[in-house]
Amino acid sequence: MATSTLADSRFGYGLVSRVLHWTMALLFVWQFVTVVLSAVAEDTAIERFFWGTHYSVGFTLWVLVLLRGAWGLSQLKHRPPHEGPPLLQRAATLGHLALYLLMVIVPSLAILRAANNGRGLRVYGIELVAPGGEANPALTAPANLLHGFLGWTLFVLIAGHIAMALWHGLVRRDATLRRMTRGPERCPRSLRSV
């Protein structure tokens, strides 16, 4: 049976996985730009513009990672295997697990903080949690403590993910990077039904 271009196969990631991956990659670049500008260009017009999008883009990433995780689980048996020796395959599995966990935890902490600090939560101008009420330090303190640290940890893991993808593509010259850029449609027709 031929593989669908929407679904994943052992020869590459389908259109759904690739669109989710690259959309999230662009949004993560945006998020890290907002954080860097907040550190180096505080109280400037460009920083206010970018920072004004931080919560909305973060919430979008949170929704997308939940969708991507659900899609990934539905495609688990069809996904391409990790390339390389067994130790490298295990490291790739653990690295991806860490990425997914942090992609859920980091925005969840921000949402928890925003919902319990009394200021409310607006996403793209839509009020999700009304402002008012007393701040709940028991819920906001962990988020205050961990959101930034885990966000930078996520940034380091993403940088490592990019480095490993480039290493696979440029040094090992295996199919790892091509599977996420070109998908299964580049596989030989004779192998698609295997």
Distances (CA, A) of 109 to 19, 103, 116, 141, 151: 26, 11, 11, 10, 10
Q: Which of 36-45, 84-93, 184-193 has the lowest average pLDDT?
A: 184-193
Global confidence as pTM: 0.87
Residue 184 has pLDDT above 60, yes or no: yes
Which helix (H) or strand (E) segment holds residue 123: the answer is strand 121-123
Dist. CA 182–CA 124, nearest whole Å: 32
Could you count the other beta carbons within 10 Å of the beta carbon of residue 47? 18
pLDDT in tens, 25-69: 999 999 999 999 999 999 999 999 999 999 999 999 999 999 999
Q: Which of 75-79, 80-84, 104-108, 121-125 has the lowest average pLDDT?
A: 80-84
Dist. CA 15–CA 185, nearest whole Å: 10
